[in-house]
Structure 1
């Protein structure tokens, strides 16, 4: 359908999407990146959908204003690593160094350099966790892949491949561990039955708190922009 804009200050980009299953016009604001999707049924003119969005402007702008502001990764910004806020400090040299309260790294290409470093740290932590839980489960995984996914934090394929969002390294360590255990448990149960959750608890232990943290705060991990 294409992109449109709701006029105002500031203008609000709208993604129009037509759906054969939709019975009415609807507006949805993504909790992950704030994208606004305007869905309309077949046969409904675009002008009618845009008029609907204009009628809902107060609701829409109020919803967008409640979203956390995005954080650009640059000197002076603070980002969490393993759940702890760290101040980004530009320093001479080529190394990235992690401290309790800060990250020291070169000012040159700070955002992509930090993203690459965080991905490697995430890979190390997730490999260790998956090795641990797969040993407890008694089933090996085939390989581990990192992505910057927005729809899910992890997945397990039928051939035993595990996929994770590298942004889990920004979350507290128990959250990363829980997601690793969750996906490893799918090696035995490719479903979300009670048998699956029993496996998660058997290899991980109680998981309610990290699972709840992810539901409440997971979207905040997408606030951080690593664009150069």
Structure 2
């Protein structure tokens, strides 16, 4: 694996090819703390590396924005729907994972705790998002063909022409009004596959809480959500 050196740290450089790309594209994968270089057709990795090296200041600036990772382990504090919750290992308890009084309780062997917390958060995201998405779609007379919950890197949600929606499970870490806005945004695309005034009017109807407030929160705190579980 190619590495870039930044003072006392090394950052992985990941190459991806995209025949439709017209130029070299560079972005930071916040989840993996790596630099992704998208290469157009007939562009070598060496050219991609030179491009990255010529933009080390840009990379360093964004790396400095990355907060320290917070693994899922006993005693760690993670947000759940925007509220801080402490993970508690309950070795002798029955069940798997449950939430109460500001704590995420995890039964069983401690070595299984990270996986169980991740699976529980993803399941909660699916439940919360699906309920909101289907209610909003019904309100505008549209049908969702599929809802996927993923660990997306470049966007919080997406919508296809076929009516398939996809969302990041990490939205369950954000405040409810932020999650509700992202769901409303993608459902609005079922009717308006654009960002026209009609789209934003519909988006505001589907997510009554201030859209600007949610967008500002994502701009200021969105990258922080990638620190959890790393």
TM bracket, shorter-chain basis: 0.7 to 0.9
Q: Residue 146 and residue 134 in structure 1: after superposition, are their counterparts in 2 closer, same or farther (change >3 A)?
A: same
Name 2:196's counterpart in structure 1.
193
Q: CA contact under 8 A between 1:147 and 1:165: conserved in structure 2?
A: yes
Q: Note if contact 1:80-1:170 (Cα within 8 Å) is conserved in structure 2.
A: yes
1:208 aligns with 2:212: yes
TM-score by length of 1: 0.81
8 Å CA contact 1:4–1:16 kept in 2: the answer is no
Q: Which ranges of structure 1 fall in alignment gaps of 5 or more residues? A: none
Question: 1: distance between equivalents of 2:177 and 2:186?
Answer: 14
CA shift, 1:117, in A, is 1.1
The separation in 2 between residues aligned to 1:195 and 1:12, in whole angstroms, is: 43
DSSP-derived class of the 2:9 partner: coil
- Correspondence for 2:87: 88
Shift of 1:46: 4.2
CA distance in 1, matches of 2:142, 2:49: 51
Counterpart in the other structure of 1:184:
187
Are the aligned partners of 1:160 and 1:187 in contact in 2 as well (CA < 8 Å)?
A: yes
Q: 2:69 — aligned with what?
A: 70
Distance 1:141 1:101, change over 3 A: same
Q: Distance in 2 between matches of 1:204 and 1:90?
A: 36
Distance in 2 between residues matched to 1:154 and 1:11, nearest whole Å: 30
Post-superposition offset of 1:61: 4.7
- Structure 2 residue runs of 5 or longer lacking an equivalent are none
Per-residue CA deviations over 1:39-78 (Å, capped at 9, x if unaligned) read 899889949956983x876775565344211111111111
- Could you tell me how far apart the structure 1 residues matched to 2:59 and 2:27 are? 9
SS of the equivalent of 2:185 reads helix
Q: TM-score, normalised by structure 2?
A: 0.80
Which residue pairs with 1:98 in the alignment?
99
- Compute the displacement of 1:102 (Å): 1.4
Contact 1:32 1:220 (C-alpha < 8 Å) held by counterparts: no
Deviates more, 1:105-114 or 1:62-71: 62-71
CA RMSD of aligned residues (A): 3.2
Superposition deviation, residue 223 in structure 1: 0.8
Query: C-alpha separation between the residues in 2 aligned to 1:48 and 1:135?
Result: 46
Q: Name the count of aligned residue pairs.
A: 222
How much does 1:22 deviate? Answer: 4.7
What is residue 172 of structure 1 aligned with on the other side?
175
